[in-house]
Amino acid sequence: MMNSMNVPSKRSTLERKLDKLILTLFGTLFTMCLIGAIGSGVFIDRKYYFLGLSKSVEDQFNPNRRFLVVLLTMLTLLTLYSTIIPISLYVSIEMVKFIQSTQFINKDLNMYHAETDTPALARTSNLNEELGQVEYIFSDKTGTLTRNLMEFFKCTIGGEIYGTGMTEIERGVAERKGIKVQEVPTSINSVREKGFNFDDVRLMRGAWRNEPNPEACKEFFRCLAICHTVLPEGDESPEKIKYQAASPDEAALVLAAKHFGYFFYRRTPTMIYVRESHVERMGKIQDVSYEILNVLEFNSTRKRQSVVCRYPDGRLVLYCKGADTVIYERLVGGSDDLKKVTREHLEKFGSAGLRTLCLAYKDLAPDVYESWNEKFIQAKSSLRDRERKLDEVAELIEKDLILIGATAIEDKLQEGVPDCIETLSRAGIKIWVLTGDKMETAINIAYACNLLNNEMKQFIISSETDAIREVEERGDQVEIARFIKEEVKKQLKKCLDEAQQYFHGVSGPKLALIIDGKCLMYALDPSLRIMLLNLSLNCSSVVCCRVSPLQKAQVTSLVKKGARKITLSIGDGANDVSMIQAAHIGVGISGLEGMQAVMASDFAIAQFRFLKDLLLVHGRWSYIRLCKVVTYFFYKNLTFTLTQFWFTFYTGFSGQRFYDDWFQSLYNVIFTALPVIIVGLFDKDVSSSLSKRYPELYKEGIKNMFFKWRVVAIWAFFAVYQSLVFYYFVTVSSSTSQGSSGKMFGLWDVSTMAFTCVVVTVNLRLLMICNSITRWHYISVGGSIVAWFLFIFLYSGIMTPYDRQVSG
Amino acid sequence: MDTDRERHRARETAFYLFTQQSLPACKPVLTPGWVIAIFLFMGVIFIPVGLVTLRASHCVVEIVDRYDIDCVPEPSRMDKVSYIQDDSIPKNCSRFMKVHKYMKAPIYIYYQLDNYYQNHRRYVKSRSDKQLLDGQKYHDTSYCQPVESNNNRPIVPCGLIAWSLFNDTFEFIREGAELKVNRKNIAWKSDRGHKFGKNVYPFNFQNGTLIGGGKLNPEIPLSDQEDLIVWMRTSALPSFRKLYGRIEEDLDVDDVVVVNLMNNYNTYSFGGKKKLVLSTSSWLGGKNDFLGHACVFVGCSSLTLAIIFVLLHVKYRR
């Protein structure tokens, strides 16, 4: 609840701009009325005796009270010109948007996820066109970019790489280089399980015994099976067992050990039971129990985890696994070849987007262990600073380790994520990753999704520096806050200065900012906010790690309010709700992590990659269509009203209406209503596949090319021009007699003619703004024009059965 | 059964195409070829239409004579308003109109008023259509203000429009013989038949202190008072022509028509002009070059644009 915010009601930017347009129209209306009203005050005069102004004249026309005449005429003209305000526009827009969201977005097969039977879901119809103008995407990581599914993918043991799979990133890199990717056939008896996606016959089913270094393999597997804090659950058989782990990584490692033949099946407070196969000879299975003497747990500063265990034969071993940097610092001297080869492998894994862990072990002499254990117990039972003391003690024994190898786990990206991100960034959209995960993981994933690469200049603002840690250890909260703030300020300034140099350079590298939650907390402080915004807006990608849900929302609104750009947040979990609500558009992944995100979102999709369709296809089309609808509405109402306005000048500013009441009211309702809705539904410039292939087209929406004031001005120009043509063509050409009968037209004949011109032209003009014309366009445009003629036929028939017939 | 299923499938297909937004559509792309073709087409259509219209207009012979000033005797010209309002002064006046081109019957006689706001809101609404159709049976004539009743008796026809009826009259003499003027059938048939009652007679009309314009013969029903019907079809613009009658004899070149007119109607107080117009008519109506010129202009500009585009296209061919 602490992180929740008030649910805002969202209106699209286009609609807010539309409000401004309507306000402008009100201004225009007022000006037109004022001109007419002042004219009426000047015009009214007793000399026009035929107007009967000599006695008992109502106020509206009383030449003695010109001010009142002006005022009352103003009101008359207001009703007369009120057609300039397109009231039906809002109704039409709502209809169009409703159909767009319920029929097009919800039923798009390209956004339908067959595996989970989930179609896309537009939960609001307000924001369709906003989807076409997004410039910043804030994405959660776990469950959104990734499947939140760790899989054991590769490993290196004793300088040998095992695992034949290929990650999506490697595939992408290869494709970019133009190398054809060959699908490696999986071996027939490969094991595939959730969490284990490893395929190499050399290690499976005891085949590792024939490898060059079976001893290393043995240690590797034992390390995986013993050095962890996983709890087994359920039946103690390899098929049915479930592992409960603090992180999915750990579970994946234990799972891997199981598949390699080291099946961890039971844990007691002091023992770990492992069913080992093929250890002494092929095919032999034996249960072995290891006594766990000490567990040196994982934390973010140590970045490693160790277990001291005693074999049934009394051998004392320390197994350690951790990040490559910390393990390499603690290796024993010698065997540089192995270290070098393994390091190369680690880099290879890293660039493939895999999460790596190094494994190492160390045999302990009993006496060394005993003396250390005393210190350990002492530290463990100390009351003050226990954590720090434990770390120090661990430091004493975690040294002179022997490297075994490394594991590579794939945090599997969702299908098509790198491609989607690449397409979106080509469309001019900037993607920020906001995650609660630790920095390494976040960076890894950012690499994996093409958000970061080695050519980029990366600014890292982290609270994990020695200086900050030192201050933190002193423990004075006020001091810590002050110090970190100073530090963040310094770093921001430094980065900004450096970034500035890069902007001035012509083809500098792209910039990326990586910042963690603690620093972000201070960087979001009002005094530093501008600096943060300046820096981050100039970076092509931003990664924020270890951020709280509230911070996610703060970052979102920083960009939304500070940069006035259109933002979209996408996430799947409850921790993304505030971010989803804060952004202009919230997108929920309707996936595994419950429904909170979806319930808070405006759109729900099943996969991140559907964002491409949602934005580049639906968003873009909706935007273009609605812009057309709005500008066209503006045009048709202005044209219509202006003919009336020009007429006012020829009626002595009396406020005489040019058009019949019925014409005026039905103009928007019948004669010009349907075609514009058809355009709002069916117009499309390029097909959906082309929109996705050329994402650059999307930039038009970001720049709001179709609803700038310039566009409105062009339409206004056409409206003025056309209304003048209508008015003068009709009045001048009816100034002499019509036909051979010599009879003259009256006021209503002329106005009917003018109205016909307006209806026909305005409807045909619609066809000229269409990029694609379907049958429905023809039907609706033709139908509207026919409706008018039908109407006037019936209407005049009712009013005067044989009206406007030329008599002989 | 089969057709039912087929129809169902067709509907489903159509709906599928609709939701997947892949309805068959033609995509008009403005290639240079199309643009040139469209402009050429417009030129080819508009120029002949314009020329035909112009020709029709040129066939019409029109003689216009402004008489409002010349018909006021010299001494009264300083104060034309008191002249026109003085009933004791005779208002007759003679005008000579020379025919410069052969005019084939029927020749239409119009009077034209300028600066006369028949389309003023107060004026337009000051009538009662119901009363015109039903006469005194219809009582609610509030629209007719301020010419609704006189001496507590209703006026038929009421309202400003009828009250201000045009009342100049014209007689035409050629070579000493009077030209017969047909004043029947000058109003639209629909007006005569459906807006003015056959059994409605003028009543209490122009009886008050203020006389606006012409009087009506109380013996003739409104549906036959064609002058009134013509007058009451209010014009769209402050400058307008109204049909007065038809001369049903041809006029030869150099014929001189003497017009004896009664200059009764007051346009002097507001500076309006009065003109007499004799005009023949073509199939398109009166003399009006505007439409023809506009069409020719549009056609020519389209052609010019087409030619410019052709040249540009040839020069910068991709």
By Cβ distance, the residue of B123, B241, B288 closest to A733 is B288
Domain shared by A293 and A254, yes or no = yes
Chain center to CA of B281: 14
**Domain end position, chosen among A391, A412, A433:** A412
How many angstroms separate the Cα of A3 from the Cα of each of A10, A524, A570, A597? 19, 16, 17, 13
What's the pLDDT at A594?
A: 66
What's the pLDDT at A22?
A: 94
- The CATH number covering residue A246 comes to 3.40.1110.10
- A659: which DSSP letter? S
Domain shared by A352 and A247, yes or no = yes
CB proximity A9 to B under 8 Å: no
Domain shared by A380 and A424, yes or no = no
Q: Do B287 and A807 touch (CB under 8 A)?
A: no
In chain B, what residues touch A738 (CB-CB under 8 Å)?
285-286
Domain shared by A726 and A669, yes or no = yes
Confidence of residue A397 (pLDDT cuts 50, 70, 90): confident
**Active-site entry in A108, A140, A199, A324:** A140
Answer whether residue A108 is part of any domain.
no
- Tell me if A24 is assigned to a ligand binding site: no
Q: Which two tokens stand for residue B9?
A: 């499938």
What is the average pLDDT across A655-667?
90
Distance from A710 to chain B by nearest Cα, in Å? 22
Residue A526: count of CB within 10 angstroms of its CB: 6
What's the pLDDT at A804?
A: 35
Confidence of residue B1 (pLDDT cuts 50, 70, 90): low
Domain shared by A391 and A429, yes or no = no
High-pLDDT (> 70) share of chain B, % = 99
- Tell me if A552 is assigned to a ligand binding site: yes
What is the average pLDDT across A476-505?
83
Domain shared by A677 and A697, yes or no = yes
Name the A residues in 187-206 with CB < 8 Å from any B CB.
none
Domain shared by A558 and A690, yes or no = no
Chain center to CA of A68: 58
Residue A294: count of CB within 10 angstroms of its CB: 18
Residue A252 near residue A197, CB atoms below 8 Å = no
High-pLDDT (> 70) share of chain A, % = 94
- Tell me if A546 is assigned to a ligand binding site: yes
From the candidates B16, B17, B21, which should be mutated to test the interface with A, based on the most A CB atoms within 10 A? Answer: B21
pLDDT tens sequence across B140-176:
778 887 887 777 888 888 889 999 999 999 999 988 8
Answer whether residue A627 is part of any domain.
yes
High-pLDDT (> 90) share of chain B, % = 40
Specify which of A473-482, A666-675, B148-157 reaches the highest per-range mean pLDDT: A666-675
In chain B, what residues touch A735 (CB-CB under 8 Å)?
237, 239-241, 288
What's the pLDDT at A801?
A: 43
What's the pLDDT at A303?
A: 80
**Domains held by chain A: number:** 3
- The CATH number covering residue A139 comes to 3.40.50.1000
pLDDT tens sequence across A305-331:
899 999 888 889 999 998 887 888 888
Confidence of residue A3 (pLDDT cuts 50, 70, 90): very low
Name the B residues in 221-250 with CB < 8 Å from any A CB.
230, 233-243, 246
In chain B, what residues touch A656 (CB-CB under 8 Å)?
119-121, 124
What's the pLDDT at A20?
A: 93
Calpha distance A806→B76 (Å, rounded): 44
Answer whether residue A444 is part of any domain.
yes
Calpha distance A420→A169 (Å, rounded): 13
What is the average pLDDT across B220-246?
91
What's the pLDDT at A198?
A: 82
Confidence of residue A1 (pLDDT cuts 50, 70, 90): very low
Residue A140 near residue A571, CB atoms below 8 Å = yes
Calpha distance A392→A379 (Å, rounded): 9
ipTM: 0.94
Domain shared by A324 and A459, yes or no = no
- Tell me if A355 is assigned to a ligand binding site: yes
Confidence of residue A592 (pLDDT cuts 50, 70, 90): low
What's the pLDDT at A100?
A: 92
Q: Do B23 and A654 touch (CB under 8 A)?
A: no
SS3 of B201, please?
Answer: coil
CA angle centred on A214, ends A213 and A215, rounded to 5°: 90
By Cβ distance, the residue of A650, A744, A806 closest to B238 is A650
**Domain end position, chosen among A412, A437, A461:** A412
Specify which of A289-293, A736-740, B45-49 reaches the highest per-range mean pLDDT: B45-49
Q: Do B269 and A47 touch (CB under 8 A)?
A: yes
What's the pLDDT at A805?
A: 31
What's the pLDDT at A525?
A: 85
- Tell me if A313 is assigned to a ligand binding site: no
Domain shared by A627 and A529, yes or no = no
Q: Is the pLDDT of residue A682 over 80?
A: yes
- Tell me if A141 is assigned to a ligand binding site: yes
Burial class (CB in 10 A: 0-12, 13-18, 19+), A537: middle
Domain shared by A257 and A311, yes or no = yes
Q: Do A743 and B188 touch (CB under 8 A)?
A: yes
pLDDT, averaged across chain A: 86
Q: Is the pLDDT of residue B291 over 50?
A: yes
What's the pLDDT at A495?
A: 87
Shortest CA distance from B122: residue in chain A: A51
Residue A157 near residue A405, CB atoms below 8 Å = yes
How many angstroms separate the Cα of A428 from the Cα of each of A127, A327, A555, A614, A695? 20, 41, 20, 15, 8
Distance from B269 to chain A by nearest Cα, in Å? 6
- B105: which DSSP letter? S
What is the average pLDDT across A548-563?
88
Confidence of residue A766 (pLDDT cuts 50, 70, 90): very high
CB proximity A747 to B under 8 Å: yes
Q: Which two tokens stand for residue A248?
A: 């999915």
Domain shared by A346 and A376, yes or no = yes
- A110: which DSSP letter? G
Check if A140 is active-site. yes
Q: Do A51 and B189 touch (CB under 8 A)?
A: no
List the one residue out of B241, B43, B287 whose CA is nearest residue A746.
Answer: B241
**Domain end position, chosen among A529, A560, A583:** A583
Confidence of residue B318 (pLDDT cuts 50, 70, 90): low
What's the pLDDT at B245?
A: 93
SS3 of A777, please?
Answer: helix
Shortest CA distance from A804: residue in chain B: B190
Tell me the residue range of the domain where A622 lies: 82-100+617-737+744-807
Q: Is the pLDDT of residue A185 over 60?
A: no
By Cβ distance, the residue of B246, B266, B284 closest to A742 is B246
Which residue shows structure tokens 């002329």?
A750
What's the pLDDT at A183?
A: 60
Instruction: Output the pTM of the full model.
Output: 0.85
In chain A, what residues touch B119 (CB-CB under 8 Å)?
650-651, 654, 656, 747
Q: Do A732 and B288 touch (CB under 8 A)?
A: yes
In chain B, what residues touch A105 (CB-CB under 8 Å)?
none
What's the pLDDT at A802?
A: 37
Answer whether residue A402 is part of any domain.
yes
Q: Determine the residue type at A483.
A: F
Q: Is the pLDDT of residue A629 over 90?
A: yes
Answer whether residue A238 is part of any domain.
yes
Q: Which two tokens stand for residue A698?
A: 């999307």
In chain B, what residues touch A76 (CB-CB under 8 Å)?
121
What's the pLDDT at A720?
A: 96
In chain B, what residues touch A45 (CB-CB under 8 Å)?
270
Go through chain A and tell me how many residues it has.
808
What's the pLDDT at B37?
A: 93
Confidence of residue A808 (pLDDT cuts 50, 70, 90): very low
For residue A563, what are the contacts with CB-CB under 8 A and spacing of at least 6? A136, A533, A537
Calpha distance A258→B16 (Å, rounded): 50
Q: Is the pLDDT of residue A215 over 90?
A: no
Q: In the sheet that A146-157 helps form, which strands lie side by side, from edge to edge? A: A160-162, A146-157, A402-413, A355-363, A316-322, A304-310, A285-296, A271-277, A262-267
How many angstroms separate the Cα of A292 from the Cα of each of A310, A318, A372, A412? 7, 10, 15, 32
Answer whether residue A40 is part of any domain.
no
Q: Is the pLDDT of residue A190 over 80?
A: no
CB proximity A59 to B under 8 Å: no
- Tell me if A321 is assigned to a ligand binding site: yes
Domain shared by A303 and A326, yes or no = yes
Q: Is the pLDDT of residue A643 over 80?
A: yes
Shortest CA distance from A772: residue in chain B: B27
Q: Which two tokens stand for residue A641?
A: 């009203």
Which of A64-68, A677-681, B308-312 has the lowest average pLDDT?
A64-68
Please report, in angstroms and rounded to a whole number, the separation of the first and last CA atoms in chain A: 86
Residue A735 near residue B237, CB atoms below 8 Å = yes
Residue A170: count of CB within 10 angstroms of its CB: 16
Distance from A637 to chain B by nearest Cα, in Å? 22
Q: Do A47 and B270 touch (CB under 8 A)?
A: yes
Q: Do B123 and A56 touch (CB under 8 A)?
A: no
Q: Do A739 and B210 touch (CB under 8 A)?
A: no
pLDDT tens sequence across A344-386:
888 888 777 787 889 999 888 889 899 999 988 888 888 888 8
Q: Are strands B25-26 and B181-182 parallel, antiparallel or unpaired?
A: unpaired
pLDDT tens sequence across B10-24:
888 888 888 888 888
pLDDT tens sequence across A145-180:
888 778 888 889 888 888 887 777 677 667 666 676
Answer whether residue A5 is part of any domain.
no
Q: Is the pLDDT of residue B184 over 60?
A: yes
